[in-house]
Amino acid sequence: MADAPNPFGDNPFAAMMKAGQELARALNPALETFTPKGFESLWPTMPRAALDAFLGKTFNPGGLDAKTRLLLTLAGLTIQGAQAEPQIRLTVRHAREAGASRQEIAETIAMAGLFGGVPAMAKAMELAIEAMGEDKA
């Protein structure tokens, strides 16, 4: 018995992307070139004082500092894998602003790799290097 023809052609992902782009173009031509990375660029890195206030010990004096919270967030995002690309880049930028060193970020990602696997770790490291390449420090 022969397989039924695939309505999406040889590459279903490409067909879905094309359909999505056509829909975006019909709704709003500006959406045709939208990318998650473009959306990410709308969110600037928060200043360290704001990170300390909202994620640090300002409202929770006995709790974790902003840097530790962001490194824990990075570990969780690394374990999620490639579905969290913009969030990983944003978290790395904020972690650097909160005082995390490149070494601390790399070690956090490596530890998370024990739980998320090597592919997730490699992708997160690639994204972190990309985000840290934008560092002014």
Instruction: Give the pLDDT confidence score for residue 136 in this predicted structure.
Output: 55
Instruction: Give the pLDDT confidence score for residue 81 in this predicted structure.
Output: 82
**Predicted structure pTM score:** 0.69
Name the nearest CA neighbour of 34 among 44, 22, 21, 43.
21
* Pairwise CA distance, residues 133 & 126, whole Å: 11
Chain centroid offset of residue 124 CA: 8
Q: Which residues does the chain have with pLDDT short of 70?
A: 1-9, 31-42, 134-137
CATH fold, domain 36-133, is: AhpD-like (1.20.1290)
Instruction: Give the pLDDT confidence score for residue 83 in this predicted structure.
Output: 80
Name the nearest CA neighbour of 67 among 21, 121, 104.
104
* Pairwise CA distance, residues 64 & 56, whole Å: 6
Cα-Cα-Cα-Cα dihedral of 124, 126, 129, 130, to 10°? -110
Q: Where are the domains of the chain?
A: 1-34, 36-133
Instruction: Give the pLDDT confidence score for residue 33 in this predicted structure.
Output: 67
Instruction: Give the pLDDT confidence score for residue 3 in this predicted structure.
Output: 63
Instruction: Give the pLDDT confidence score for residue 53 in this predicted structure.
Output: 81
Token pair 């975006």 is at which residue? 24
Structure tokens of 106?
């790399």
Phi-psi sector, 6: left (phi>0), alpha (psi -120 to 50), beta? beta
